[in-house]
Amino acid sequence: MEGVERERRNRYTTVSIPVPLYERIKSLIAGTGFTSVSQFVTYVLRDIVSEMEKQKVQDAVSEEERKEIVEKLRRLGYL
């Protein structure tokens, strides 16, 4: 349980951004669903980071396994 408390405290960290950018974001999000600059920045970063992570995808099946799968798919009538 102690570990969980520590985990909670460690959920957030600080990243520096220029003050004028902070102000721009603040006025941009006024009246939108975003309640803070941090929330907005987190949202935007998740969007971008997940796109970039797509480049690093690993292929799961070997050539041999692919052949086996195609064989099975043929047998079942999918191909």
What phi-psi label fits residue 5: left (phi over 0), alpha (psi between -120 and 50 degrees) or beta? alpha
79 contacts: CB under 8 Å, gap ≥ 6? 70, 73
* Residue 17 touching another protein (CB under 8 A): no
Residue choice 18, 20, 31, 33 for contact with another protein (CB under 8 A): 33
As measured in angstroms, the least distance from the Cβ of 79 to another protein is: 6
Q: Which of 9, 30, 53, 63 binds another protein (CB under 8 A)?
A: 53
Question: How many CA within 13 A on the CB side of residue 72?
Answer: 6
Q: What tokens appear for 52 in the block? A: 């970039």
The least CB distance from residue 38 to another protein, in Å, is: 14
> Looking at this protein, which amino acid is placed at residue 32?
T
**Interface with another protein (CB under 8 A):** 3-4, 7-8, 33, 43-44, 46-47, 49-50, 53-54, 56-58, 60-61, 65-66, 69-70, 72-73, 76, 78-79
